[in-house]
A = this chain, B = another copy of it.
Amino acid sequence: MSNHEYVHGYSEAESNRLSVQAMTLNEILYGDTIFKEGSLVLEAGCGVGAQTKEIAKNSFGAKIISVDISKKSLSAARKKAADENNFSAEYLNCDIFSLPFLKNSFDNIFVCFVLEHLKNPDEALLELLKFLKPGGEIIVIEGDHGSAFFYPDSSDAKRNIECLVSLQAKAGGDALIGRRLYPLLKNAGFSDVCVFPRIIYADSSNPSLVKGFTKNTFTAMVEGVGCDAVSSELITAEEWEKGIRALNRTCDEDGTFCYTFFKATGIKKQ
C-alpha cells in the first residue's frame, strides 16, 4: 500500500469531483448506513473526506475515526470538516497496513472507494478484520467501471473507459472490483456477506443527475486520466477526444447512462 499510486491523482479538480460524487450519490450510497449511538467506527481510507460527512451526519452518536495514507488528502478532509462545521470525525495519518489501534476495538469499519486502488485488497480486508470487534460489521462500497453502459452506445467511449481500467490495473488496482466484493469478503473470513448493487440511471427527465453523475462524476473521472492514457500510448489524442465527445453525447436530450456501485457488508465471527 505504501507504494501504491492513486490513479486519479490528488489535484484540486479531483478533490472537487469527489465531493460532487458524494453529493449527488449520497442517498443512494450512504442513506442506509447508520452507525449506532456510542459505536466506534473506523473509516479506512477517507481520502479528501468526501464520504466522511455523509456517514457522520447519519450517525451523530457514533465516534468516527477517519484514516488515510496521504497527508495532503487528510489536510483537505480536515479543512472541509472545519468549513462545514456540522459533523465530527477524528483524522489520523496512517497506513491501513499498520494501524495504531488495539485489535478487536471497532464496532464498524467503513471502506469506500479504497479497495479498487490497492494491489492487495484481500490482505487489506484480512488486516481490517483484526481491528473489528467479534460481531462487528464491515461496510465496503466500490464502483465497477465495466458496469457502465449508455445510449447512444459507442465503441469510442468504451475504449476510453478501457484505458482508465488499464491505467488503474497498471497502478496495481482493479476498476472492476465491484463485481468481486462477494468473493473478497468471503475469502477474508467475514460471515453473512451480503452484496447490494446500487444502480445509477440518468436520463434527461433528471437533469441534475445527468449533470451531477454522467457529466461531472463519471465523464470527469474518465477525462482526468486523458493525459496519462495518451502519454502511455494506450490511445491517440484524437481517439481520446472522440471518446470524450461520445460520453458527453449521452448527456443530450435523448441520451441515457447507467452505472452500478456495489455495497457489501460482512460480520466478524464471534
Check B197–A258 contact: CB distance below 8 A.
Answer: yes
Residue of B nearest to A250 (CB): B179
Check A183–B151 contact: CB distance below 8 A.
Answer: yes
Kindly report how many copies of this chain are found in the complex they form together.
2
- Please measure, in the bound complex, the distance between the C-alpha atom of A150 and the C-alpha atom of B205, giving whole angstroms: 30
A193 at the interface (CB under 8 A from B): yes
A76 at the interface (CB under 8 A from B): no
Chain A count of residues within 8 A CB distance of the other chain: 29
Residue of B nearest to A197 (CB): B201
Check A183–B256 contact: CB distance below 8 A.
Answer: yes
Which residues of chain B are within 8 angstroms of A258 by Cβ–Cβ distance? 147, 179, 197, 260
- Please measure, in the bound complex, the distance between the C-alpha atom of A187 and the C-alpha atom of B153, giving whole angstroms: 18
In addition to A144-B149, A151-B182, A182-B254, 16 A-B residue pairs with Cβ atoms within 8 Å of each other are A146-B149, A146-B153, A147-B149, A147-B258, A149-B176, A149-B179, A151-B179, A151-B180, A153-B179, A180-B256, A183-B255, A186-B254, A187-B254, A193-B205, A195-B203, A199-B199
